Amino acid sequence: MQIHVVSPGDTFVKIAQAYSISVQEIAVANQVPDRNRLVVGQTLVIPINGQYHWIGAGESLWSISRRYGVSVEEIVRINKILNPNHLPVGLRLYLPQKVKQIVETNAYIDPRMTRTRSATAVDKVGEHLTYLAIFSYAVDREGNLTPVEDQLPLSAAFKDKVSPLLVLTNFEGGQFRKEIATAILTNEALQDRVLNRALQIMAEKGYRGLDFDFEYLGAENRERYVVFLRKARQLLKAHGYFISTALAPKYRGDQRGVLYEGHDYQAIGQVVDFIFLMTYEWGWSGGEPMAVSPIAQMRSVMRYAVSVVPKQKLMMGMPLYGYDWTLPYVPGGKFAKSVSPQRALELAIRYGVSIRYDKTSQAPWFRYTDTQGKRHEVWFEDARSVQAKFDLVKELGIRGFFYWVLGNDFPQNWLLIEDNFVVRKLT
């Protein structure tokens, strides 16, 4: 695959000719909303084996070799270059397929959000997933689990050889509740009730593992949570199940805040099979406009994580969404609207605005004025931002990555998984 960024004057025909491919193949691969309209800054993933590079002024085979990780000798051989010391500007070079890293992947799905589409959402991308985490069986103060309509996504997961994970949360009324977590973590009888009920459901429905997504625990529950996870591990391993947990994105062990203080990376890493690090929501619906997952912040979290947890236990989080803010941003004012990458692109095309790319955060964004005269700022994901995250996964050498949340179509993401990785299947 190759990422093409639309420039002024580009057309689908011109792009297709440059890559020796048909317009139809590009349009279908990217599920373009309008084949007659492109906007500057829009990305297209070109579905070819390997990729092309057009020689620019001052470039040499050595610099191109370094950029793409292909030896000079291989570039010369493949392209049948007669004089490596004379490379005309604009010459198209072909570069071979990348070496692919084996990873595990996961995606969370909330059947309440996707409803009857949950099976379709899984089936569309099941070949690219190792696990499917179904959100969520919420725990109440008496240790009961709120039921989830999970049969449709479970059936799709089994069909696509994806291992389903049952997600336990302290979620109530649209929020994570510290008081629910405290009630469970301070009462062994309630813990036993929660775990035994979870085991019963897992056996009945075919789940392969249990994922704990207990958030906003506070410092008082830090050690209690680790003790609870140790108890859970003992029970789960006796039945051959995985145990995992989702953790808040921390830069250091003593990071302040109720979201962070209850998650002890090092201690939890010694207990669970793998950890889902929630490296997203720096840009969030109630905050000021910015990238959801800026690459520098993601790297800082991951560098801390690999310093205290074995790499083979770490899964980096990636968003399948962005936000559309109404300007001017006012703290405590109207929340931003969540948008899929495809919806963001449709907005840019509809209002005829160019898409910019912030190199610091490695994320695309644009502004537009709607039909009511209101100004907006949109940050989202595209092929470039996804590739930057995949490069970080490969740089770190971790177990893999995961997504929040299925239900938003983003074909470029799945094309780039195929180009960068081999996804491990467990069944």
Q: Where are the domains of the chain?
A: 2-95, 101-320+384-423
Query: What's the CA gap between 401 and 302, in Å, rounded?
Result: 11
Per the structure block, which two tokens stand in for 231?
């108890």
pLDDT value of residue 289: 98
| Domain 101-320+384-423 indexed as CATH 3.90.226.10 | no
Mark whether 215 is an active-site residue. Answer: yes
Q: What is the mean pLDDT of residues 345-361?
A: 97
pLDDT over 90 at 99, yes or no:
no
> Domain 2-95 - what CATH class?
alpha beta
pLDDT value of residue 113: 79
- Cβ burial, residue 80 (10 Å; 0-12/13-18/19+): exposed
Tokens 């703290």 -> residue:
331
pLDDT value of residue 409: 79
At 231, give phi and psi (nearest 5°): -60, -45
Mean pLDDT of the chain: 96
Contact 348, 368 (CB under 8 A): yes
**DSSP secondary structure letters along 255-317:** --SHHHHT--HHHHHTTSSEEEE----SS-TTS-S--SS-HHHHHHHHHHHHHHS-GGGEEEE
Name the DSSP letter for residue 215. Answer: -
Upstream peptide bond of 65 is cis (omega within 30 degrees of 0): no
Per the structure block, which two tokens stand in for 347?
């907005």
Give pTM, 2 decimals.
0.95
Q: What is the mean pLDDT of residues 307-327?
A: 98
pLDDT value of residue 69: 87
Q: How far apart are the first and last CA of the chain?
A: 28
Query: What's the CA gap between 364 and 39, in Å, rounded?
Result: 13
pLDDT value of residue 116: 76
Contact 184, 172 (CB under 8 A): no
Q: Which residue has the higher pLDDT, 69 or 306?
A: 306
Q: How confident is the model at residue 386 (pLDDT cuts 50, 70, 90)?
A: very high
pLDDT value of residue 295: 98
pLDDT value of residue 242: 98
Q: What is the mean pLDDT of residues 381-387?
A: 98
pLDDT value of residue 33: 83
Please tell me which residue in 215, 261, 377, 381 is annotated as part of the active site.
Answer: 215
pLDDT over 90 at 115, yes or no:
no
Closest CA to 279 of 310, 241, 306, 312: 306
Contact 286, 274 (CB under 8 A): no
pLDDT over 90 at 381, yes or no:
yes
pLDDT value of residue 35: 86
Q: How confident is the model at residue 112 (pLDDT cuts 50, 70, 90)?
A: confident
Three-state secondary structure of 112-153 = HHHHHHHHHHHHHHHHHCCEEEEEEEEECCCCCECCCCCHHH
Q: Kindly state the percentage of the chain with pLDDT values over 90.
A: 94
Picking from 78-92, 125-139, 301-315, which range would have the lowest pLDDT averaged per residue? 78-92
Picking from 113-117, 167-171, 254-258, 336-340, which range would have the lowest pLDDT averaged per residue? 113-117
> pLDDT per residue over 143-170, tens digit each?
999 999 999 999 999 999 999 999 999 9
CA pseudo-torsion sign 171, 122, 246, 267: positive
pLDDT value of residue 254: 96
